[in-house]
Amino acid sequence: MSEVDWSKLIPKPRSKFLLVQCNECGHRQVVFDHAKIEVKCLVCGATLAIPKGGKAKILGRVLEGLT
Ligand SMILES: [Zn+2]
């Protein structure tokens, strides 16, 4: 058995997933807070998060952080 490099498998502490509610339709969606691409609401297409040099800017309403 080879050794597993856990540092590559476990996200860094500052990265996390957020439960974001769409401002337009109220749909709730999980968004990675370091998203590298624009995240859109799956229901209405409104932009929920935009990448901003590392941490994404969340445009929707953040309901809670998930780990
Ligand atoms: Zn929506």
Burial class (CB in 10 A: 0-12, 13-18, 19+), 46: middle
Q: Name the nearest CA neighbour of 48 among 14, 25, 23, 66.
A: 23
pLDDT of residue 4: 73
CA of 15 to the centre of ligand 1 (A): 24
Q: Which CATH architecture has domain 13-66?
A: Single Sheet (2.20)
CA of 45 to the centre of ligand 1 (A): 6
Q: Which two tokens mark 60? A: 């929707």
Burial class (CB in 10 A: 0-12, 13-18, 19+), 16: middle
Residues 5-56: tens digit of each pLDDT:
766 665 555 678 999 999 999 999 999 989 999 999 999 999 999 999 888 9
Q: What is the pTM of this model?
A: 0.73
CA of 59 to the centre of ligand 1 (A): 11
